[in-house]
Chains A and B, each alone.
Chain A
């Protein structure tokens, strides 16, 4: 089986599992929406402030909840299943990419549902041409999927998994969060989104290179 077909097979399996289990759409997404709705209540009736911080809070919620998505999603594969897959001769990087692709689809769906909710709850003043900022935003979502899947793989099988994974995730996600949130700000101040797009693409590529380099050792360590 070719590398690309293996990637597609892992992605297909994970998405099918999610469609049946429905964890992201029926559990995580409603809680994300509730979190987004809670911030304006905490700020009170200062609508100018709420409007200004809305996009940034959207990214905070996206960051926290998408990590949950990626970590829970990756935990779905048990050690003996990994062993059987290794014995079938599957490429570890294809497995990592396929699982990342599935996580990216789920994270982008989560973002697509929460973005209109943010517009509704915060009524931010969106600059002209704001849809352009969706490009680095979506790329940042893909990067978060990479970070979450990598963190889940690094901590697979460890008792300290739930503590360690966020510590790995936090520094790796910083450039993605900055790029995702600053793209809109930059448009509002007549700056372009190019520097932020370059930052997020560079981060995505760096994460892909790291994934390619460590996929095999990570798999071997988790068997």
Chain B
């Protein structure tokens, strides 16, 4: 099953979108030992798209996101991201284009929020001034020198969003992005998401909360019994 939004082909043919499909999954299957998690996922996500994937807890949403993030090769089927096949060395080269925010912010507890951002900036080859700018954008300037360990979960989530603002990914992957966020932080997620698609990128979001996610994406699909359905 080909899953694209209405009018996507027309927009692409009209030259409004770059021709490359950012995410292309064909009959992707994934097993954890004997347990099938994904049983045949087909999905296309093109430039300028924001796609939501809903499903109950344990449906395999985060696993699907990790395949799209090139972090986990499928057991069978074909997964391509920026035209690089997941599980091959080409996929390592496109990882810099992908930004991922999971349930748990990827911060080092003993470092301050600023030191965490500086660390990620340096590894991404960015100037640390970009980290300061991102901290300002998410409203964490005043708390930037607190250790991540003593920050609230909301502050840690904002710092995680600051990392994504700073690195400007072309493919933004958000796992339960709106859970536990206040209105200001939700607005940051929305701004980040809009900026990504405006830059010609794409957003894939997964959540158990179909309704909330529906307000932030162009189309919502459902992950059911290991496969994606409209």
Contacts and interface: CB of A to CB of B under 8 A. Distances in A.
A20 interface: yes
Nearest to B119: A13
B120 interface: yes
A223 interface: yes
Nearest to B169: A87
Contacts of A90: 123
| Chain B interface residue number, banded | 20 to 34
A112 interface: no
A1 B123 contact: yes
A87 B98 contact: yes
| Chain A interface residue number, banded | 20 to 34
Nearest to A22: B110
Contacts of B124: 1, 88-89
Nearest to B87: A220
B71 A83 contact: yes
Contacts, number: 67
B115 A88 contact: no
B225 interface: no
A80 B107 CA distance: 9
A84 to B, nearest CB: 4
B122 interface: yes
A85 B100 CA distance: 10
Contact of B125 (A1, A16, A86): A1
Interface string A64-87: 000000000000101011011111
A14 to B, nearest CB: 9
Nearest to B175: A80
B167 interface: yes
Interface in B75-116: 92, 95-96, 98-100, 102, 104, 106-108, 110-111, 115
Interface in A144-187: none
Contact of A83 (B102, B115, B163): B102
B69 interface: yes
A86 B119 CA distance: 13
A83 B123 contact: no
A89 B123 contact: yes
Contacts of B125: 1, 89
21 contacts: A1-B122, A1-B123, A9-B123, A17-B111, A20-B110, A21-B110, A78-B104, A80-B104, A80-B106, A81-B106, A84-B100, A84-B106, A86-B95, A87-B69, A87-B96, A88-B95, A88-B167, A89-B96, A89-B124, A90-B123, A223-B71
Interface of A: 1, 5-6, 9, 13, 16-17, 20-21, 76, 78, 80-81, 83-90, 216, 223
Given A16-B111, A90-B123, 11 more contacts: A1-B124, A13-B108, A13-B119, A16-B110, A17-B108, A17-B110, A20-B111, A83-B100, A84-B120, A86-B95, A88-B167
Interface of B: 66, 69, 71-72, 92, 95-96, 98-100, 102, 104, 106-108, 110-111, 115, 119-120, 122-125, 147, 163, 167
